[in-house]
Amino acid sequence: MHVWDEAKSILFDTETIGTINGVSGYMEKFSVFIGVALGELILGHSDNLSKSLQSKVLTAAQGQHQAELTVKTLESLRNDDDASFNLFLDAVLFKAEQCDVDPPVLPRKRIRPMRYDEGSEPTEYKTPKDMYQVSYFEALDLVIEAIKKRFDQPGYQIYQNLQELLMKCVTRQCYDLEFQNVCKFYGSDIKPTCLKVQHQLLHSAFREKPIDDIDIQSVFLYIRSQG
């Protein structure tokens, strides 16, 4: 919060100062403060995954592995008998006290307009902790499900098989399973015998190159260079 006070002391633009005051006022509310902290926690993991997936040398299989690690990490924040939430809440409460943020309270009960009444009673919480714990779990569940959905698409598995087929071919590994899966998927669109010959040529092109220096990007570049 002191950063905003310092900013206001050197600014002369009343509109900007007004904006800072508005944001500062919102951040003094615990509901906003904990929301920002939760966003930082979750988006830190998703942003790290996003940066990893943008690597040009990352294969589809490696990308899926990174996604699975991220999901496991997020699930560990979700499935350990509330211990992770308690640690998270304690850290937020400590920081909130340092920043002069209002203490957590339950929102006042409000009568819903008839047009929004679905016939069910709104959820009532006994303590602010109960309310924020529900939000904590819901946020984690949404992100976990989104990541799983991203890598559970019909075309992703065949894309992964194609990349694994190429990488195993050039790094001198057995690729029979991937070869069978690709041929089965494309059916009559490809000729397995011709594909086998092309893979042998690809294998020869990378024979002299150290395996540790081979990545999927270099394989793609070579294939494109052959027209």
DSSP one-letter string for 105-132: -PPPP-PPPGGG--SSPPP--SSHHHHH
Q: What percent of the chain has pLDDT over 70?
A: 89
pLDDT digits (tens, 9 = 90+) for 184-193: 888 888 888 8
What are residue 107's phi and psi, to 5 degrees? -65, 150
Instruction: Report pTM.
Output: 0.70
- How wide is the angle at C-alpha 182 spanned by C-alphas 180 and 184, nearest 5°? 65
Tell which residue, 202, 200, 189, has the closest CA to residue 158. 189
pLDDT at 203 exceeding the cut of 80: yes
Taking residues 49-54, report their average pLDDT.
90
Q: How confident is the model at residue 130 (pLDDT cuts 50, 70, 90)?
A: very high
What are residue 104's phi and psi, to 5 degrees? -70, 135
CA distances to 55, 85, 145, 215 from 137, in Å? 30, 9, 12, 38
Q: Where are the domains of the chain?
A: 2-106+126-150, 155-225
Q: Where is pLDDT greater, at 81 or 225?
A: 225
pLDDT at 30 exceeding the cut of 70: yes
94 touches 198 (CB < 8 A): no
CA distance 72 to 76: 6
Q: How confident is the model at residue 171 (pLDDT cuts 50, 70, 90)?
A: confident
pLDDT at 115 exceeding the cut of 60: no
pLDDT at 156 exceeding the cut of 70: yes
Average pLDDT, the chain: 84
Helix boundaries (H) for 11-82: 14-27, 30-53, 60-76
* Range 74-78, long-range pairs (CB < 8 A, 24+ positions): 74/42, 74/45, 74/140, 74/143, 74/144, 74/147, 75/140, 75/144, 77/41, 77/140, 78/137, 78/140, 78/141, 78/144
pLDDT computed for residue 39 by the predictor: 93
CA distance 222 to 53: 22
Q: What percent of the chain has pLDDT over 90?
A: 27
CA distances to 132, 150, 225 from 139, in Å? 10, 17, 46
CA distance 36 to 101: 13
pLDDT computed for residue 47 by the predictor: 92
